[in-house]
Structure 1
Amino acid sequence: MPTGRRIVLFDLFGVIALHQRPGALAEMAERCDAPEDAFTEAYWTLRPPYDAARQSAPQYWTAVLRRLSRPAGTGTIEQLRLADIDSWSRVDDRMVAYARSLRSRAQVAVLSNIPADHADAFGAAQPWLHHLDHVAFSGRIDVAKPEPAAFHHCVTAMHATPADFLFVDDREENVRAAQAIGMTGHVFTGLADLVEIVNLWLPAGTTSSSPTRGVHKGSTLP
């Protein structure tokens, strides 16, 4: 049963933060003298264990370089690691401001797939994260979306029920996973649609005057 609380649970990259900087993978491929297509395939295929804290950064990058038949020297691994962290460092200032403003109307939390070393760097660069009600990074909780345990972590950590949550993510498979455990879900396409969804979801009398558009078909409301 819902507790009557309202918790907006945000994904990070593609929602509040920006996706990886364009051209970053090509630059990393050049650093290790690998074809961009092959580097990109290895980068993403081998990523899940790193995101979920089942591999360290050196273990992940060693696996990537071995897949590419490139030497896995300590210097190369560290260069790639730092370039990778930098490539995921940008935020959408409008979304940061909106998420922070919501705390006057609801609790606000983040659930993001991000390795532990990335999480450390991102948290240090974005102090606003420390003022949210809960922040769950996959590299710190040892499980990544869309695994149900990632969502259950937030429910347990916030002493809530799934029905208390509106989960916002730009990936439909993650939204469906949240819905499967009983959360309300919204597939993020932009701030205007999100404002409309949040205003509908929050109790009467707590809506904002921000400009809105129609409800996105990826959303489900109770």
Structure 2
Amino acid sequence: MSTGRRRIVLFDLFGVIARHQRPGTPKKMAARCHTSTEDFTTAYWTHRPPYDAGLQTPSAYWTDVLHALSRPADADTIEELRLTDIDSWSRVDDRMVTYVRKLRGRARVALLSNIPADHADAFLAAQPWLHDLDHLAFSGRMGAAKPDPAAFQSCVVALRAAPADFLFVDDREENVRAARAVGMDGHVFRSQDDLAPVIDAWLPTR
């Protein structure tokens, strides 16, 4: 840790504090597009990176998905898919939310998430406690998504810290490796029970 600085725990959102996509949603959206779940899922994720990184509008993203499936991209279909998608990523792990909020008494706490801007707006509206954290970094608002080093560096700059001040927690190993490559400590999240002793050991003793 840099001398005189307060340590920062930087959390991923989905798969850590929030839950992954609601089960059954890809099948539901695939049915709306009159295609198989497999084909829909391929198109959904293939075209996702620019949308996550704020380089593409929701309409452009869903138009690309629908065209990849040889389906018409009318405004009503796009909006229905967009809203269904946002809802499917809206669930949180209440136990982790409680843990993260209490952790602020011991460390600075920040969030770094790959999430489109319109999803971020909806998530913040539903989870206003997020505004109490020390920094929120959403890929769709800053033009960089993990594992791009720029995503991590933006948090370093925003918090006026050094990379060594950070412990980054993410459920994806490639993102943790990327954080370590810029000088942060990192932990691959499996459960809160696994995480808590790691943070306890990393934070200075009182």
Give TM-score scaled by structure 2 length.
Answer: 0.98
Q: Which amino acid aligns with 1:10?
A: F
Which residue of 1 is the match for residue 9 of structure 2? 8
**Higher RCO (C-alpha under 8 Å, 6+ residues apart):** 2
Aligned-partner Cα distance in 2 for 1:191–1:119: 23
* Separation (CA, whole Å) in 1 of partners of 2:190 and 2:29: 29
**Counterpart in 1 of 2:52?**
51
Whether 1:194 aligns to 2:195 is: yes
SS at match of 1:185: strand
Matches within 5 A, 1:3-82: 3=3, 4-82=5-83
Give 1:117's aligned amino acid. D
How far off its partner does 1:5 sit?
Answer: 1.8
SS at match of 2:92: coil
State the match for 1:145 in structure 2: 146
Q: Deviations over 1:29-65 (max 9, x none)?
A: 1111111110000000110000001100000000000
Q: Distance in 2 between matches of 1:64 and 1:171?
A: 25
Distance 1:57 1:101 in 2: 35
* Uncovered stretches (5+) of structure 1, i.e. residues with no partner: 206-222
After superposing on structure 2, the runs of 4+ consecutive aligned residues of structure 1 that deviate more than 3 Å are: none
The 1-side partners of 2:58 and 2:37 are apart by 20
Gaps of 5+ in 2: none
Match of residue 211 from structure 1:
none
2: distance between equivalents of 1:106 and 1:77? 42
Q: Work out the number of aligned pairs and report it.
A: 205
- 1:2 aligned partner, one-letter code: S
Matched residue type, 1:64:
V
Aligned to 2:158: 157
Give 1:2 shift: 1.8
Question: Structure 1, residues 135-189: CA drift from partner, whole Å, max 9, x if none?
Answer: 0000011100000000000000000000000000000000000000000000000
Supply the RMSD in Å over aligned alpha carbons: 0.8
Letter in 1 for 2:13: L
Amino acid at match of 2:106: R
The whole-number CA distance in structure 2 between the counterparts of 1:193 and 1:68 is 41
| Corresponding position of 1:123 | 124
Secondary structure of the residue that 1:104 maps to in structure 2? coil
Partners of 1:87 and 1:59 in 2: how far apart? 20
Tell me how far apart the structure 1 counterparts of residues 53 and 142 of structure 2 sit (CA, whole Å).
8
- The DSSP-based 3-state class of the residue aligned with 2:104 is helix
CA distance in 1, matches of 2:53, 2:34: 28
Specify the code of the residue in structure 2 equivalent to 1:40.
T
What is the percent sequence identity of the aligned residues? 69
Once the 2 structures are TM-superposed, how far is the Cα of residue 88 of structure 1 from its aligned partner?
A: 0.1
